[in-house]
Amino acid sequence: MSTTVTQEDEPYRYEHLKPHFSQETYPALQPFHHVDPAHRALKHANPRSFLDKASTVVRLTPALGTEVQGVNLAQLDNDGRDQVALEV
């Protein structure tokens, strides 16, 4: 007489990794007003003036972008950060 072990006889080894869906509900989303920092940069006289402080600006390709060296992002003011957002 032989006994065979089937998958149903053994507990599932990865039970703790199975998806779990709770019945938790969340409140309805509320509308909010978003102002894009890059949009604010367009109001400046020169929206790319943060590049004046750069030691090297290499325009790689229109699709790939520009490599900027020598700009300390930690020292930019609000206008400079808006301009970086526009450049990105």
57 and 66 in contact (C-beta within 8 Å)? Answer: yes
What does the block give as tokens for 57? 């600006």
> Residue 5's pLDDT is what?
56
Neighbouring C-beta atoms of residue 15, cutoff 10 Å: 7
pTM: 0.58
CA atoms within 13 A on the CB side of 71: 19
Amino acid 88: pLDDT: 85
CA–CA distance, 45 with 83 (Å, rounded to integer): 11
- Residue 85 is predicted with a pLDDT of 92
Structure tokens at 2: 């032989």
Q: What is the pLDDT of residue 4?
A: 62
The rounded average pLDDT for each run of 10 residues, N- to C-terminus, in the chain (88 residues) is 64 89 89 91 90 90 88 92 90
Residue 72 pLDDT: 92
